[in-house]
């Protein structure tokens, strides 16, 4: 694979005396799924927060297709999307309205600016068809009527719709049943098939070994493995995660 979408160079981050990240170097290519693994406190969320511009780094740089990223505004401009653990969906709003949350289609009628719900519904329908998602057929349904898995799929779909280069997912399958996990993993696969670079934080090592193109392990803020998953067992991964000592 050639086309690099994300380039992380010599990244460092401290919280007082705690070194959360040290000398982190990582590249992600278009269409690639990178699983980011590590024990509690290894620095996974800190790394994700810096990549999406919500926390500053102390050292090093983040580049998306060559463009420097240091803020949330940069992340948005450079096409980096995030699926947060709590999803950040609005439960009272419909699938279509959630898909366009913060990017509403607005129409002007005389002096008024009104949200164009019919336009959003038809654009949402098209987007969901285009993304090949079959579990969200009715875009008028409110999110509170969806299952946990359907909500996760919607959150991934929203990130896919607005992110052009990179999508970050922190624990997207936590607390889901097996069928719903399958649904969410399919939608992540689809994001990669659409050419996005994906970084996936998960404690579900068996699923990750099946899905990811590369497995990156953080230990005490340092990358200790960056390897293809072929031939790795769950216990191999756990050994690398926790270390020999
Ligand atoms: N805002 C903060 N202030 C102080 N220390 C922090 C802060 N955020 C993270 N840390 C510390 O940085 C280290 C890495 O934390 P981080 O949340 O990135 O770990 P993680 O790999 O996401 O862990 P988990 O699997 O538990 O989510 C930990 O030692 C944590 O205590
Ligand atoms: Mg975390």
Give the global pTM. Answer: 0.86
3-state helix, strand, coil in the chain (%, to 5): 35, 30, 35
Residues surrounding ion ligand 2 at CB below 5 Å: 45
Q: Would the CB of 17 count as within 6 Å of ligand 1? A: no
Domain range annotation of the chain: 4-242
Residue with CA closest to ligand 1 atom 26: 40
Neighbours of 182 (CB within 10 A): 14
Tens-place pLDDT, residues 95-152: 999 888 888 888 888 888 898 999 999 999 988 887 777 778 888 999 998 888 888 8
Q: Are 24 and 223 in contact (CB under 8 A)?
A: yes
Q: Which two tokens stand for residue 113?
A: 């600016």
Residue with tokens 């290519």, as numbered in its chain:
29
- 24/236 Cα distance (integer angstroms): 22
With cut-offs at 50, 70 and 90, classify the pLDDT of residue 86. low
For all residues of the chain together, what is the average pLDDT? 90
Closest listed residue to residue 24, CA positions, set 4, 6, 39: 6
- Cβ burial 87-112 (10 Å sphere, 16+ → b, else e): bebeeeebbbbbbbeeeebeeeeeee
Residue with CA closest to ligand 1 atom 6: 15
Residue with CA closest to ligand 1 atom 4: 15
- CATH of the structural domain 4-242, one choice from 3.90.1640.30, 3.20.20.370, 3.40.50.300, 2.30.130.10: 3.40.50.300
Task: From the CA of 55, give the closest atom in ligand 1.
Answer: 1
Q: Which two tokens stand for residue 68?
A: 């420097």
Task: From the CA of 218, give the closest atom in ligand 1.
Answer: 21
């Amino acid at each position: 694979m050639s086309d690099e979408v994300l380039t992380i160079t010599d990244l460092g981050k401290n919280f007082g005396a705690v070194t959360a990240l040290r000398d982190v170097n990582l590249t992600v290519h278009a269409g690639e799924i990178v699983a980011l693994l590590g024990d509690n406190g290894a620095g996974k969320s800190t790394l994700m927060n810096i990549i999406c511009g919500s926390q500053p780094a102390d050292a090093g740089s983040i580049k998306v297709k060559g463009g420097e990223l240091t803020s949330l505004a940069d992340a948005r401009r450079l096409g980096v999307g995030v699926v947060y653990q709590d999803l950040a969906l609005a439960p009272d709003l419909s699938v279509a309205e959630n898909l366009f949350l913060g990017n509403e289609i607005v129409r002007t009628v005389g002096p008024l600016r009104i949200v164009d719900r019919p336009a959003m519904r038809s654009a949402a329908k098209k987007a969901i068809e285009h993304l090949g998602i079959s579990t969200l057929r009715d875009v008028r349904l409110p999110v509170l009527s969806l299952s946990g898995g359907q909500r996760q799929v919607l959150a991934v779909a929203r990130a896919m719709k607005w992110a052009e280069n990179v999508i970050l997912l922190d624990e997207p399958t936590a607390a889901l049943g097996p069928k719903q996990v399958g649904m969410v993993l399919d939608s992540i696969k689809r994001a990669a098939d659409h050419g996005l670079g994906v970084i996936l934080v998960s404690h579900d090592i068996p699923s990750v070994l099946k899905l990811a193109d590369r497995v990156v392990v953080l230990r005490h803020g340092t990358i200790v493995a960056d390897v293809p998953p072929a031939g790795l067992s769950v216990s191999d991964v756990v050994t690398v995660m926790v270390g020999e000592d």
